[in-house]
Structure 1
Amino acid sequence: MTPLLGLAARSAWNRRFALGLVLASIALSSFLLMGLERVRQDLRDNFAQAVSGTDLIVGARTGSVQLLLYAVFHIGNASNNIRYASVQKLAEHPAVAWAVPLSLGDSHRGFAVLGTTADYFAHFRFGSRQALQFAEGHAFSGLYEAVVGSEVARRLGYRPGQTIELSHGDGAIERHDHADKPFTIVGVLQATGTPVDRTVHVSLQAIEALHADWMAGVRLPGFKLDAAQAAQRDLTPRAVTAVLIGLKNRAAVFSLQREVAAFRDEPLLAILPGVALDELWQVLDLGERGLRAVSALVALVSLAGLVAVVLAGLNERRRELAILRAVGAGPRTLLWLLALEGGLLTAAGVALGVLACWGTVAVLGGWVLQRYGLVLQAAPPGLAEARLIGALLLAGALASLLPGWRAYRLSLADGLSPRV
């Protein structure tokens, strides 16, 4: 088998120009398939690691996926708020170690504004329970101070000391801007690859000050408070969107979840982030399978090109095959020779595609994180990727049998006198 392998390699090298194009096609399709799988896995990991170390997320009674999307990913709208008194009761529960309230609804130039407390920076975790770190500045302490995520700072060119204005709702209507209450940026967070990067963080009291002269989402006509006047009012929060809860003992998570579901003061829902994320991925599974199918079709087209090129060259190689017969090669030897050529070409193309994918992730991973907030890991192929590689190699080997079988039939028909 070793001499036959060397012969197959030298034969392919003699036709390196035509086969090089096929090699590039296989490498590109392998790159696409492996790159898509890498992005899919890392995107799923990014979603799963957007919040870690949080045992429960509590909000108004709604769907678990809707609560997760709004509270963690700032997508969609909350069905209702929960009273701040309820948050305080939950924080005083014997099983609760910490509770971080979240207030959403405002924005700044397309980025979500999150009202919270200083405990957010102490207890919020992402990835493998990593804490938030400041690239510049520090957490807010004053009423009109803000901390921005890394993507907000990068895209808008913000640094500590700059002044910004927030908008009511999505900011689509200019008269809904809170221009009379500007905020000073005091901190910029390091990149996390999570929605934190695309968020402006302020205090809960700041959210109350912004809406001191508003009611039911509308500015009160003929009544306007400037920043100094709003600061003099009672800014105790009346309601928040959701609350992140960490427990002293995770074994109590289900019992507390049942207590929240039976909460008498108002209807509440407590979700486990991991369970809600699994539900979310079930919704997205159809799209994942569609992308995989497209990549698989690209790979099949490349392998079809391999078969077509080898078959098209068989007529020109009939004299070569006759010479091999003359020196003692049997029909089965010719079958294996052509099959090995195709297998070697497939293996080289897949290897080149995998290396190109790994190298691209390693080189562009930092840029993708800064630009799109997606953490790509230049890690060795995992189990799913190994299965894809094996499937590509197997498909290439099977595809190579077709020109090998054709060569076998030609060698039987031609004998030592090929019709050329």
Structure 2
Amino acid sequence: MASQWIRALACAVIVLCVLGGWGLAADDATTAPETASPIGEAAAQSSGFAAAAPRGRWDPAAGSGEIVLDNGSYYSVFQGEADVEAWYDTTGRDVTGTVLEGEAGRSEGEPFRLSSAIPADQPPGRYAGDDLTVRVQEPRIRTVTLYNSVGTELEDPSELQREESLLVVVDWNYAAAEDLQVDLIDHDGNLSIEREVLSTDPTEAQSDRLPDGVDADTLAREEQGLGSTNASTASWLFDLGAVDDGTYTLRIEGVDDLTTDEAAETFRFTVGTDATPAASPTPTASPTPTASPTETASPTATPTTSPTATPTASPTETTSPTTPAGSPGPTERPTTSSPAPTTASPSGTEPPTQPTTTEEPGFGVTAAIAALVVVLLQALRVRRR
């Protein structure tokens, strides 16, 4: 009987050891901290920089920020750009100072250093090196289209009627780099008066000429573009009834560095010259080929007079031109600042945060208790025998 009791006790001990070890292993697998990724913080930065390429870290309203390049897209930058805070690749590596080499055309064999400014005379073309690619372009205004009050496109705006309104629609190739600004200069006083002349009240015909999605309220914004209006075209409306007679210059250019050569456009025109005479010209009779020599009848030709231009829905107030609230002054610039660049270096990563573990009874403790109960029951059975 004693030997049976001993065998029962031995079996219980074996079961206790096996189940207890299993429970401890299960507890260890559950509470062990996760192994940190070998990439760590750099992985998150890589994703961010790749998504930001090439101008996601750039402010076109100020013409400054960071540029991200990859190894095959040949993202565009422009001659004369400055205020480049840093150049990165898509992994977050700072590549400022890297020298690329021109591949073809005017840029072939030419060096291009990734620095804080792009030389205005940097040969345009494609450059590559160190797993980086970029394309240098000449900044230019592609098109400027002018429409009068009845929506007619003006090929020569040199002379406009005083009661006209003038719609200006502009497209430029460096919208990602810089917004555009407009100046209307009064030659009599050499003053920039666009703030007093810009309007938000286009005629119906002019509204039909606006690009899709353009709000009339933006027509009086002196600065327009991706940073100011989130649009890659610019549209301005000038109420010429709000200006005095005289000669004016309309100038369109970038808000920061891109203000020369084809990056800018200038028009000169005269307002209020009354090109159409108030009096009708004296009619002159045209000889009638079939008239007999004895006919002395006065000519019946109706004198032709130049039609007087009738403004369509032109603003009539001349003393208080419509100016949208909060519109900046003639020489003001938007106060939006460049977004602060991410200062974390890809190599300066913080140690991963270790998960907090808590000790709780696992499967091993439960198994041990169950085994102990089995041993006690078996011992009682043996004693009864």
Same-fold call, TM cutoff 0.5: no
The structure whose RCO (Cα within 8 Å, separation 6+) is larger is 1
**TM-score when normalising by structure 2:** 0.24
Query: If you compute each CA radius of gyration, which structure gives the higher value, 1 or 2?
Result: 2
Higher helix share: 1
Higher strand share: 2
